[in-house]
Structure 1
Amino acid sequence: MDKKEFTISEVIDSIGISGHTWTVFILLAFAMIFDGYDFMIVNSTNLFVAHTFWPNDPNPGALMGSLTTWGLLGMVLGGAVGGILSDRFGRKKTLVIAVMFYGLFTLPQAFANDLAFFAAFRLIAGFGVGSCIPVVTTVFSESMPSKQRGVFVTFGMAFMVVGWVLAGLIANPICNAAGPILGGFTNEVTYTMADGSTATMFANWRLCYLIGAIPLIYGIVLIFFMHETPHWYANSGNKVMACKRLTQIEQATRHTSHEYDPALLIVPPKPAKTGPSVLFSSKFIVATCAIWAAYFVGQFCVYGMNAWIPTWFVGLGYSQADSVALQTWNNVAAIASNITVGFVSDKVGRKRNLAFSWLFCIVAIVLCSLFVAPNSMGLCIALMLLFGFALNYAITAVQPLMPESYPTAIRNTGTSWCQAFARFGGSASSIVLGGIAGMAFFQTAAGTTNWSTVVLVLIVPFALGFVCTVLFVKETAGKTMDQLAAEEEKLGASESDGNTRFFIMLAIVAILAILCIVCPLVVPAWSKQPYALPLMAIGLLLPFAYFFVFGGAQLAKNKAAMSKK
């Protein structure tokens, strides 16, 4: 046994890519596939669910957009609570419970006949989905060698998009089947079309939600094959189990019997506080502003576009099947971008890569707005591939920064609260874009929505994402988790002065929710009101005002402190 002090990161880096690495990768990959399916199945079936719930309304607008929103709101709650539970009780326990939870509560959605029932179970299932994603990101960051960490984190997220693609591939033939697949359970529905005529379909979409219960079985697999991370053991005070896991990892790779002495294990000091308010302390506020701003932009644009892409192309004259197929092509490109972004991020750095990605998104959305056209399926596929690649490249480029921004004791709290906040952007986006689509400015002469104009609204968040990246993102590529923690210590900033900033952010989130989610769903003809667009703009821009004020002030203090050293 060596008598030299060591850290968890040093041992994992010395072992490198191993059999343990690939075991963790595969287990987490399947968790993300099921997670992605559970989310995207709503966007892939929403046209058919809408026909079932509102057969006499050819344009449910914000109500149809809310089909996506309820799951995202559940993800907000799940992310906020799940991250804290993961930091306290462990990554494995939280992941197993989350996977089985969303599988269990996706099942009842197959039996829904109205929005209230469907929304209730989407909300509950979303709690599990929201808990799962940040745990996966954190486990990847704690299990992978430093030099390849970005690749594995972003590659792992690609499997969530695989779930998105599977949702489209499964939903399209099922929902468009000419007859009932499950007899009376998938009942016939007569609905009104935009031109006033009627058509019929079968509620085969219900089968898609029965399939969504498969994670119940996968949770059992995780119980037997998933292991806790050494980082969590060490920072929970259990150095013996941390060293035991390191020995097991090394034995699985090198087939040696090397044992690590718990007395020699160096564990970085924990923050003075471990609740969510510490994320807004002087020590972490700049990092929080960086990742919260960037991920909010990504979630708003990804989930808003996925919710309305089928409607956009139906409006251009494409069939429902072709429209869902175009959405699926958009997500196929996302897989390629998620695989690519990690390699580039590790090579050129997190900050440069993310800044470039927002500019790429602006170019892509302008091209899509200008060139999408009816009766040009090949061209539209190419444009959806371009936009899907660009947008998902950007949102995935943020992923490595989340766990790298915080020490182990609050890593999953930081990651999950970032994702929870960003999902308010995703929750609002489908409703906001649906509301904007009903405004006179975005209507054609024939009175239909000009979605090619609506999507240009996304230039604003893309530009904000670029500015926040340039201002707040700190380079973390290639550094061990322990090095990153040590760099934060050098600043000497406080860890316990974040309460006021935390409550201000909670108030801003409440305002955002009221103006961009509650009002469009509750106020009659909200999108027709002259004050609707300005109020929604205020709700969406308030967080960025917060980032510029508080993040900018602390950034100036940090630079002044470093210049004195």
Structure 2
Amino acid sequence: MVPVQESPAGPGPTLAQRLDALPFTRRHGRVLGGSGIGWALDAMDVGLISFVIAALTQHWGITKAESGLIASLGFAGMAVGASLGGLLADRFGRRQVFALTLLVYGIATGASALAGGVALLLVLRFFVGLGLGAELPVASTYVSEFAPARIRGRLIVILEAFWAVGWTAAALIGYFVVPADENGWRWAFALGAVPAAYALVVRWGLPESPRWLAGRGRLTEAERIVADFERAAAPAGGPAVGAVAAAAPAAERSAPPRPGLAVSARSRLAGLWSAEFRSRTVAIWLVWFCVNFAYYGAFIWIPSILVDAGFGLVRSFGFTLIITLAQLPGYAAAAWLIEVWGRRLTLSVFLAGSAVSAVVFGTVHAEAAIIGAGMALSFFNLGAWGALYAVTPEIYPTSLRATGAGWAAGVGRIASIVAPLLVPVLLVAGGSGLAFAVFSVFFVVAAAATWGLVDRRGRALDDR
């Protein structure tokens, strides 16, 4: 890895320090919004499969085992995609891989609308997961490398909040489109093909990460991008760089360049288990595994569980839509608290709230109680996801960041493969009460593992 160097403009703050000194500008908004739209489209696809499974149970007569397999094959693809996506993003750039992942899963989702049987649908779900799994950790890494240090956590939670937008879109499609007729699920998948077109916007409309460019020795390109952000931050007629550069402390401006830690894919993977990062890697993998197990085990099956409880397809989808809307205030609370309490405390509190909500949801039977407990679970769980995506890229340096985030997500996806397959077994053995009690235990373990992470609230990213 080429050492990170100072700006070619001469002595002064490094590119990374200049990025951290910036105020939030419209260019930051473009990066956040452009990445967020991709994130929302991902969420829409993941959310749609729960409604499609419920519909196919009625139209095709698929079994619960086949339903679990449809969900799990998608998550198997996500596990592979997350692991490969991080490695590729550290090698070829954040923007390039981000666009490629959107293209892969958008095409596979559109093709799913033409599936004539379970076998083909299973194959296509794997490819959908391949693209989706790679996109999420790459997007969070990408945005974190543009975000000023003082608001970095908040911006990543806002990015993750686009998940609620996409999941709400999925719930609306599930409520209005999927039950419309026996081909409603096909139209839902057709709508999910939108990311294939959006990939072109990402490829040509968003800049590459200047931190990554600097790490690869492409300083002229990195300088041009940072200068564009500084011009956007300057008052009308004012200097583009001078006032911003002065914000960096003199001690930081004179700091020597820090070399990258890894060059090859193998050395990047080995770097995750070096003495410096080993404990962080264990902790973040454990959090990702437990959160994925509980989240996907619960939310993929909630529509089907409600149908089995006798609420009917349309009514169950309506309940799910209401429950989904509670994600938005959950994200808003996490976005505020993560810069007030810090990463670890915010994440652990929201995971604890998820644990309590899961127990309550699994034991109540009245309609109002089901909706209330489901909304609480949605509020706390998605707030926890926002905090998790904020903390994950921060615990590794630039040369390992996408690899570390991708492999953490990949390990988490192993749990998301297992959970949909295990839920039918738990439902038979002890009903929804047992299933959601198990989810609660996983939330508790994740909350404890959070305290093995480092908290970089308000601190610069490690640009080695």
Same fold (TM over 0.5): yes
> Is this contact kept in 2: 1:304–1:433, CA < 8 A?
yes
1:499-555, CA deviations, whole angstroms, 9 ceiling, x for partnerless residues? xxxxxxxxxxxxxxxxxxxxxxxxxxxxxxxxxxxxxxxxxxxxxxxxxxxxxxxxx
Task: Could you list the structure 1 runs, at least 4 aligned residues long, displaced by more than 6 angstroms after superposition.
Answer: none
Shift in Å at residue 143 of structure 1? 0.6
**Separation in structure 2 between the aligned mates of residue 293 and residue 328 of structure 1, nearest angstrom:** 30
Name the residue aligned to 2:107: 104
Match of residue 157, structure 1, among 148, 160, 166: 160
Give the structure 2 partner of residue 530 of structure 1: none
Residue 363, structure 1, aligned to residue 363, structure 2:
no
Q: Which residue of 1 aligns with 2:331?
A: 338
- Residues 5-404 of structure 1 aligned to structure 2 (within 5 Å): 5-53=12-60, 55=61, 60-177=63-180, 180=181, 202-254=182-234, 256-258=239-241, 267-272=257-262, 274-373=267-366, 376=367, 378-404=368-394
Aligned match of 1:458: 439
Query: Quick one: distance in 2 between partners of 1:292 and 1:329?
Result: 31
Task: Using CA pairs under 8 Å that are at least 6 residues apart, name the structure with larger relative contact order, 1 or 2.
Answer: 2
**C-alpha separation in 2, matches of 1:267 and 1:86:** 22
Letter in 1 for 2:385: I
SS at match of 1:481: coil
The CA deviation at 1:46 is: 0.8
Amino acid at match of 2:119: A
Structure 2 unaligned runs (5+)? 1-7, 246-252
- Alignment match, 1:557: none
CA distance in 2 between partners of 1:265 and 1:102 (Å): 43
Gaps of 5+ in 1: 181-201, 443-449, 487-565
Alignment-mate amino acid for residue 200 of structure 2: I
Tell me, in whole angstroms, the C-alpha distance in 1 between the residues paired with 2:191 and 2:364.
37
Q: Distance in 1 between matches of 2:230 and 2:377?
A: 42
Aligned-pair distance for 1:328? Answer: 2.5
1:45, 1:339 → 2: CA distance? Answer: 29
How high is the sequence identity, in percent, across the aligned residues?
A: 24
**Does structure 1 conserve the Cα–Cα contact (< 8 Å) formed by 2:262 and 2:400?**
no
Secondary structure (helix, strand or coil) at the match of 1:275 reads helix
| Counterpart Cα distance in 2 of 1:412 and 1:276 | 11
Q: 1:119: Cα distance to partner?
A: 0.8
Computing the radius of gyration from Cα coordinates, the structure with the larger value is 1
SS of 2:339 mapped into structure 1: helix
CA contact (8 A) 1:3 1:264 kept: no
Range with greater deviation from structure 2 (160-169 or 460-469): 460-469
Deviation at 1:224, TM superposition (A): 2.4
Residues 92, 228 of structure 1: 8 Å contact kept: yes
Report if the CA contact (8 A) 1:300-1:429 is conserved: yes
SS state of the match for residue 145, structure 2? helix
C-alpha distance after superposition, 1:430-468 (max 9, x if no partner): 1111222223xx1xxxxxxx2133211112212211222
- The 2-side partners of 1:405 and 1:269 are apart by 17
SS in 2 for 1:400: helix
Amino acid at match of 2:188: C
Kindly tell me: are residues 272 and 122 of structure 1, through their superposed partners in 2, closer, same or farther at Cα, counting changes over 3 Å? closer
CA shift for structure 1 position 265: 9.6
Could you tell me how far 1:396 is from its partner in structure 2?
2.4
TM-score with structure 2 setting the length:
0.90
Cα distance, 1:315 vs. partner? 2.6
Distance 1:238 1:456, change over 3 A: same
**1:211-253, Cα deviation, whole Å (9 max, x unpaired):** 1111122112222211101101111111222112111111122
Name the CA distance, whole Å, in 2 between partners of 1:304 and 1:157: 20
1:430 — aligned with what? 420
Please state how far the C-alpha of 1:370 moved relative to its aligned partner: 3.1
The 1:258/1:358 distance shift into structure 2, 3 A limit, reads: closer
| Alpha-carbon distance in structure 2 between the residues aligned to 1:225 and 1:459 | 42
Task: Tell me how far 1:3 sits from its aligned partner.
Answer: 4.9
Q: Deviations over 1:339-361 (max 9, x none)?
A: 32122011111111122222212
- In the alignment, the residues of structure 2 paired with residue 328 and residue 421 of structure 1 have an alpha-carbon distance, to the nearest angstrom, of 29
Structure 1 residue 132 displacement after superposition: 1.0
Q: Distance in 2 between matches of 1:221 and 1:474?
A: 35
Residues in 2 aligned to 1:138 and 1:207: alpha-carbon distance in whole angstroms: 33
Q: Following the alignment from structure 2 to structure 1, what is the Cα–Cα distance between the partners of residues 241 and 359?
A: 57
Q: Which residue of 1 aligns with 2:3?
A: none
Letter in 2 for 1:347: V
In structure 1, how many angstroms separate the alpha carbons of the residues matched to 2:273 and 2:113? 41
1:468 aligns with 2:458: no
* CA apart distance, 1:206: 0.5
